[in-house]
């Protein structure tokens, strides 16, 4: 294995971290890992607190308690993009839960006596939009369309934390692969029944990352002063949808003979299908690679082995 990032470069060591979206797929795995690594984790929640270190907060309606000081924030909260068709109401909820929410949280925490020094913000490879065969690293420009615009505006709000000197990391995350949820949890039963198949022509590129790698990236981003600005949180080897489909079928020992035509996806999922299932985004983790991030899953086969357990 290649060497880990040398410890001498770990320039910051905050120990109290606020996590938003802590109940989600990424957040719940992250909180477990951060606590295992000795972090004191506060969770920002919408509901009345049910356990220690839960802080109820709602954009525009409550102030963050002055008595709770955190060194860092991992901001993951946002309406699930795949929860349903993107009606006007869903698009408004997706936008507000990211842009309005982030703006309010940054302003609120910026008014603390000691604002957080590190801000790790979720974003997505959706930032780059539908780009065909183009290889996209962190120097690539943003794309067009609803998702790309939301990601750009979301990142812009997070960057306001730079005005008080916070180190802001914008994680452009690919499709997160986990047995616990997300896209794979939805696909697996379909493939197990032998009903899987490529989506559309299968030539669209998919950027993905194993959940275990993403959790490691976030934990490192909190500690390592080199993480600042955009970081593609994706595995080094993106795949086309056809390759992904074949690999998943192989991992589950099932055939994948039933392609789903684009028009069916468009009919069922509308704009969401175009922007997520059929869009081609070939993002590569140029910065993580330059820093020798020790990916557990570099190839799709590694990730599927890890998450399907076969």
Ligand X SMILES: NC(=O)c1ccc[n+]([C@@H]2O[C@H](COP(=O)([O-])OP(=O)(O)OC[C@H]3O[C@@H](n4cnc5c(N)ncnc54)[C@H](OP(=O)(O)O)[C@@H]3O)[C@@H](O)[C@H]2O)c1
Enumerate binding residues for ligand X (CB under 6 A).
21-27, 46, 76-81, 97, 101, 122, 124, 173, 175-176, 182
Distance from C-alpha of 138 to C-alpha of 141, rounded to nearest angstrom = 8
Q: How far is the CB of 11 from ligand X (least distance, A)?
A: 26
Please tell me what DSSP assigns to residue 260.
B
Distance from C-alpha of 281 to C-alpha of 274, rounded to nearest angstrom = 12
Cβ-based nearer residue to ligand X, 10 or 96: 96
Q: How far is the CB of 268 from ligand X (least distance, A)?
A: 19
Cβ-based nearer residue to ligand X, 10 or 53: 53
DSSP 159-183: HGGGGGT-EEEEEEE-EEE-SSSHH
Q: In what order do the strands lie in the sheet with 167-173?
A: 54-56, 40-45, 16-20, 72-75, 118-124, 167-173, 229-233
Q: How far is the CB of 113 from ligand X (least distance, A)?
A: 25
Distance of CA 301 to the CA centre of its chain: 20
Q: How far is the CB of 21 from ligand X (least distance, A)?
A: 3
Cβ-based nearer residue to ligand X, 173 or 280: 173
Please tell me what DSSP assigns to residue 24.
S
Cβ-based nearer residue to ligand X, 122 or 251: 122
Cβ-based nearer residue to ligand X, 19 or 252: 19
Q: How far is the CB of 83 from ligand X (least distance, A)?
A: 8
Cβ-based nearer residue to ligand X, 9 or 183: 183
Q: How far is the CB of 167 from ligand X (least distance, A)?
A: 19
CA atoms within 13 A on the CB side of 109: 36
Cβ-based nearer residue to ligand X, 156 or 165: 156
Distance from C-alpha of 161 to C-alpha of 127, rounded to nearest angstrom = 20
Distance from C-alpha of 158 to C-alpha of 152, rounded to nearest angstrom = 10
Distance from C-alpha of 296 to C-alpha of 213, rounded to nearest angstrom = 6
Distance from C-alpha of 11 to C-alpha of 168, rounded to nearest angstrom = 15
- Strands (DSSP E) contained in the chain are 16-20, 40-45, 54-56, 72-75, 118-124, 135-136, 167-173, 175-177, 205-206, 208-210, 229-233, 239-240, 282-283
Cβ-based nearer residue to ligand X, 26 or 161: 26
Specify the residue for token string 């408004």.
Answer: 92
Q: How far is the CB of 1 from ligand X (least distance, A)?
A: 26
Residue nearest to ligand X (CB): 24
Q: How far is the CB of 238 from ligand X (least distance, A)?
A: 13
Contacts of 283 (CB under 8 A, 6+ apart): 125, 128, 136, 137, 172, 174, 207, 232, 234, 238
């Amino acid at each position: 294995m290649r060497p880990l990032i040398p410890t001498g470069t770990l320039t910051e060591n905050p120990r109290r971290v606020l996590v938003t979206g802590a109940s989600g797929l990424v957040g719940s795995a992250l909180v477990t890992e951060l606590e295992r690594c000795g972090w004191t984790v506060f969770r920002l929640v919408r509901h009345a607190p049910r356990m220690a270190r839960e802080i109820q907060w709602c954009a525009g309606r409550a102030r963050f308690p002055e008595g709770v000081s955190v060194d860092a924030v991992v901001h993951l909260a946002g309406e699930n993009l795949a929860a349903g068709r993107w009606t006007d109401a869903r698009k408004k909820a997706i936008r507000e839960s990211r842009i309005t929410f982030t703006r309010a949280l940054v302003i609120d925490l910026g008014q603390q006596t000691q604002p957080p020094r590190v801000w790790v913000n979720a974003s997505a490879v959706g930032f780059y939009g539908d780009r065909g065969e183009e290889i996209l690293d962190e120097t690539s420009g943003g794309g067009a369309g609803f998702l790309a615009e939301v990601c750009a505006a979301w990142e812009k709000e997070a960057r306001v934390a730079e005005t008080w000197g916070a180190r802001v990391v914008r994680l452009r995350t690919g499709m997160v692969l986990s047995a616990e949820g997300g896209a794979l949890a939805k696909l697996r039963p379909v493939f197990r029944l032998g009903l899987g198949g490529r989506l559309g022509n299968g030539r669209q590129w998919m950027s993905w990352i194993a959940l275990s790698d993403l959790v490691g990236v976030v934990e490192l981003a909190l500690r390592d002063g080199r993480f600042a600005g955009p970081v593609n949180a994706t595995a080094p080897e993106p795949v086309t949808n056809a390759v992904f489909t074949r690999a998943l079928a192989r991992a589950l020992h099932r055939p994948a003979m039933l392609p789903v035509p684009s028009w069916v996806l468009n009919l069922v999922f509308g704009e969401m299908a175009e922007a997520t299932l059929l869009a081609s985004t070939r993002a590569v983790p140029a910065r993580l690679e330059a820093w020798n991030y020790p990916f557990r899953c570099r190839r799709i086969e590694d990730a599927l082995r890890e998450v399907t357990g076969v």
